[in-house]
Amino acid sequence: MSSISSMKFDHLIGKQVGTSVILKELARGGMGAIFIAYQKTLKRQIAVKILPKSLLTPTNAEFFRQEAEAAAILSHPNIIPVYEVGDTGEFLFFTMQLVNGRSLEYYIKRAKKNPIPSRRALPVKASLKILVDVLDALEYAHQQDIIHRDVKPANILMEKHTQRPILMDFGVAKIARGPDATDSLILGTPGYMAPEQITNGNVDARADIYAAGTMLFEMLSPQPLFPNVKSSMELLKLKVRLGDKLFTRKPSQLNPRLNSDMDKIIFKAVAYDPDRRYASCREFQSQLKDYLKRYCKE
């Protein structure tokens, strides 16, 4: 069976899709390929994501549709805007903003490779400001009854000139009201998944809070969070088995630039029991803003 990685898309260059013309391929992922396109009506470059119908299954078709519809519902400066959703004889597609920048994952990986150990974490103030903005976007999404379920650095684009973080990829998002056909599936990325996502428990907005807390820990740590874990399956099992003992060292022990108050903030966000996490992204955000005022003065 073919996969997105093995498909050839040269024939799509110059093809009209909706109100746009495809210019060149940009990237490929698990659920589609992304192209740069020119939107003739508004005379601007945009991004087009496609899912070839030859790869369609009921599940990935649902995720693709869900990604487009969830993002289209949301209008927030830190969430990728979707412009148009459509269907051709060959593929499903939707168009969105073309962001000039790299993923947060890129910057974290680059920092971890720094030859100077003390510089292998991202700057504290910048990290907290990024997460404050991401939490604002998530709070807004949660108010619209949308849970992202795959918050991670790879899904956050940093706009080059403004360094504004933009949350994207709502492919496994959940509409909180009513039953969801994907509730029985284990969805997300192991390193950032909340324990209840692994055990098929009741997943609500606090799963996104867990992921955001893990991401913040990763940004502030000069070392990998799970250095000795050899596989995704092993990590999933450890999360369930170890619970709150998953992280053996505190953030302030790993990063001397952190006050111990950050330990309490992060460990509350990544508590095994959702009831012991922050009740909302707004509450988490408030703690980070307070830390910024106390310890990150100009």
Domain ranges for the chain: 4-97, 101-295
Walk across the sheet containing 165-167 and list its strands: 101-103, 156-159, 165-167
Q: Is 113 helix (H, G, I), strand (E, B) or coil?
A: coil
Categorize the per-residue pLDDT at 61 as very low, low, confident or very high, splitting at 50, 70 and 90. Answer: confident
Is 60 exceeded by the pLDDT of residue 184?
A: no
Is 70 exceeded by the pLDDT of residue 179?
A: no
Q: Return the sign of the alpha-carbon dihedral for residues 72, 75, 77, 78.
A: negative
Are the beta carbons of 203 and 197 closer than 8 angstroms? yes
Q: What is the mean pLDDT of residues 260-271?
A: 98
pLDDT per residue over 186-237, tens digit each?
Answer: 667 899 999 999 987 789 999 999 999 999 999 999 999 998 898 999 999 9
Could you give the percent of the chain with pLDDT greater than 70?
95
Are the beta carbons of 79 and 124 closer than 8 angstroms? no
CA distance 198 to 278: 20
Are the beta carbons of 128 and 67 closer than 8 angstroms? no
pTM beyond cutoff 0.95: no
The secondary structure element, H or E, covering residue 156 is strand 156-159
Give me the helix-helix angle, 261-269 and 205-220, nearest 10°: 140
Q: Please report, for residues 17, 49, 95, 144, 254, the alpha-carbon distance to residue 68 in angstroms, rounded to integers and kept in the order given.
A: 15, 9, 9, 15, 39
Q: What is the dihedral angle through the alpha carbons of 269, 272, 277, 280, rounded to the nearest 10 degrees?
A: 80
Categorize the per-residue pLDDT at 55 as very low, low, confident or very high, splitting at 50, 70 and 90. Answer: confident
Which of the two residues, 172 and 125, has the higher pLDDT score?
125
Q: Is 6 helix (H, G, I), strand (E, B) or coil?
A: helix
Are the beta carbons of 271 and 218 closer than 8 angstroms? no
Query: CATH assignment of 4-97?
Result: 3.30.200.20
Is 60 exceeded by the pLDDT of residue 242?
A: yes
> For residue 268, which phi and psi values (nearest 5 degrees)?
-70, -40
Could you give the percent of the chain with pLDDT greater than 90?
71
Q: What is the mean pLDDT of residues 234-242?
A: 93
Categorize the per-residue pLDDT at 67 as very low, low, confident or very high, splitting at 50, 70 and 90. Answer: confident
What is the CB neighbour count within 10 angstroms for residue 14? 9
pLDDT per residue over 94-148, tens digit each?
Answer: 999 999 999 999 999 999 999 998 899 999 999 999 999 999 999 999 999 999 9
Is 90 exceeded by the pLDDT of residue 185?
A: no
Is 90 exceeded by the pLDDT of residue 283?
A: yes
Are the beta carbons of 84 and 71 closer than 8 angstroms? no
Q: What is the mean pLDDT of residues 267-290?
A: 97
- Give me the catalytic one of 10, 133, 145, 150: 150
CA distance 125 to 114: 19
What is the CB neighbour count within 10 angstroms for residue 169? 22
- What pLDDT sits at residue 177? 57
- Verify whether residue 180 is a known catalytic residue: no
Domain 101-295 homologous superfamily, CATH: Transferase(Phosphotransferase) domain 1 (1.10.510.10)
